[in-house]
Chain A
């Protein structure tokens, strides 16, 4: 059964003709051969009445979080409680036993009840010394900062920013007469699958190879928009564009160099998308982005 495709570009909600019901009505009036003719003609009419939409592929390229988020207050409380319970239920380790023995030996030496064996043992490195040395080594170790320089400078072209959150690649492209901030998109060419088109779009947007990993052949999201009236009305032109988004992870952290197809790019966090992406577009895009609090 063919679906009678309706023009769904209007704001009104046209309840689609319930095909089974009309078929039943028609079947009462017509004979079988007429029915077949009617079905074939309806098929033909949908083909000619089918609107022409440009098929575009877009890339949703993300840098996944590199470091874990800071603990929430409740998480900190539960962690400290769990650690205390763990301590209560545990047995003493060899190190603790050694500490106790050392302490007792010190007491004995102070009291004056020390034997020769005690004096021999006391001259060796005590467990407390070892513990102190270990703690000092840890405090001196130069861990990398969680808040990087890129964070402080708010450099939106750097991948080192906001290491505990997702970063989404957004570019400024010229669509028609105006430039908009969108995810990199481009039209699908002959002989390409949608995913291949997305990979090509990414390669053309930047100089040099962008180390990325595409997640599967299926698109993750969809957005469509109509072209302005004067373009639509010209013969042979499409009504608008249907954009299919493909998700990818960026695997290298070397900075990107912008190519000729785009005017500018930025790596944005979820909060910053409001001020860059157009409203309706942003709504469609957040549908396939992982939520962040």
Chain B
């Protein structure tokens, strides 16, 4: 009698269990949005993005620096069209070219030797002058060996093929460089 009573008590208890501790509440039911409102919101987002694109396009696109320019890819496919069909150089001409290059290398070597000799001569002359100045007066020597910072940065415009035309008025006007300088 007691066993039957316990069974009646245990059986429902066998089905009893607890879940793990969640520390949360169950999900709230998702409310269905009105599709027209959803569409409206998407449209507004698109409009905002398009407006910003148009603003950026309106501003002058900064030019790419020359260092970053690349050869246009279209030229790669045009190479066969652009190649020259020339006769190969004759033996005589090739020989004369090689002789000319040898003569040129000799000429440039002599030129380099002359330049170095000239520089050495100038430095020697300056050395002598400084030595004599030191013998005369230490003070003046020290002042002569001071750095002249006004010399740097030194800018020189190189010799051209023809001299400047006096009073030349360029038909296209003068070129004034307004590029930004980052110092």
Contacts and interface: CB of A to CB of B under 8 A. Distances in A.
Given A142-B165, A193-B143, A217-B145, A245 B129 contact: yes
A222 to B, nearest CB: 4
Contacts of B128: 221-222
A144 B126 contact: no
Interface in A38-83: 53, 55, 64-68, 72, 74, 77-78, 81
Contacts, number: 121
B136 A290 contact: no
A282 interface: no
> Helix, strand, loop or mixed for chain B's interface?
helix
Given A218-B144, A222-B132, A67 B160 contact: yes
Contacts of A53: 136
Given A81-B100, A291-B114, A244 B129 contact: yes
B159 interface: yes
Contacts of B101: 78
Interface in A130-159: 142-146, 148
A284 B79 CA distance: 62
Contact of B129 (A81, A148, A221, A290): A221
A170 interface: no
Interface in A207-221: 214-221
B82 A91 contact: yes
B159 A218 contact: no
A218 B164 CA distance: 33
B163 A67 contact: yes
B122 A288 contact: yes
Contacts of B103: 74
B163 A220 contact: no
A164 B163 CA distance: 10
Contacts of A145: 162-163
Given A215-B151, A288-B126, A78 B164 contact: no
Given A67-B162, A90-B84, A290-B118, 10 more contacts: A5-B135, A53-B136, A66-B163, A66-B164, A88-B86, A195-B143, A214-B148, A216-B151, A221-B125, A244-B132
Interface of A: 5, 53, 55, 64-68, 72, 74, 77-78, 81, 85, 88, 90-92, 97, 142-146, 148, 163-164, 193-195, 214-222, 224, 242, 244-245, 287-288, 290-291
27 contacts: A64-B159, A66-B159, A67-B159, A72-B107, A77-B100, A78-B101, A88-B86, A91-B79, A91-B82, A92-B81, A97-B82, A144-B162, A148-B163, A194-B143, A215-B151, A216-B151, A219-B130, A219-B133, A221-B125, A221-B128, A222-B125, A222-B128, A222-B129, A222-B133, A242-B132, A242-B136, A291-B121
